Amino acid sequence: MWLACTELLRRAFEDLNVEKVWCAYYQGNEKSKRVQEKLGFKYHDTQEKVKLQLLDEVRTNIMNLMTKEDWLKLVNC
């Protein structure tokens, strides 16, 4: 999964010239948290009481961000 994610980030920043990529995980999903940290995403904010219509549940959403500048630092180290 990590390799696929790095290729998606490369495509976004290099081919599509995107400036920011956002991602999120639900609080308690440690696997998603670790993948996002390993990829280099940085914490942005927490969204409390996010309603999941299909599951009829309320969860906490952790939002992370990677900028093009962050990406360039990672690939050029």
**Residue type at 76?**
N
Measured distance CA(8)–CA(28) in Å, rounded: 25
Domain hosting 37: range is 2-75
Residue 77 pLDDT:
74
- Model pLDDT for residues 19-65, shown as the tens digit of each residue: 999 999 999 999 999 999 999 999 999 999 999 899 899 999 999 99
Whether pLDDT at 8 is above 90? yes
Q: Coil, strand or helix: which one is 68? A: helix
Domain with 53 in it: what CATH number? 3.40.630.30
Residue 18 pLDDT:
98
Number of domains forming the structure of the chain: 1
Whether pLDDT at 2 is above 80? no
State pTM to two decimals.
0.86
Q: What is the DSSP letter of 16?
A: S
Using CA atoms, how far residue 52 sits from 55, 58, 64, in Å, is 6, 6, 19
Whether pLDDT at 76 is above 80? yes
Which is it for the CA torsion 40, 42, 46, 52, positive or negative? negative
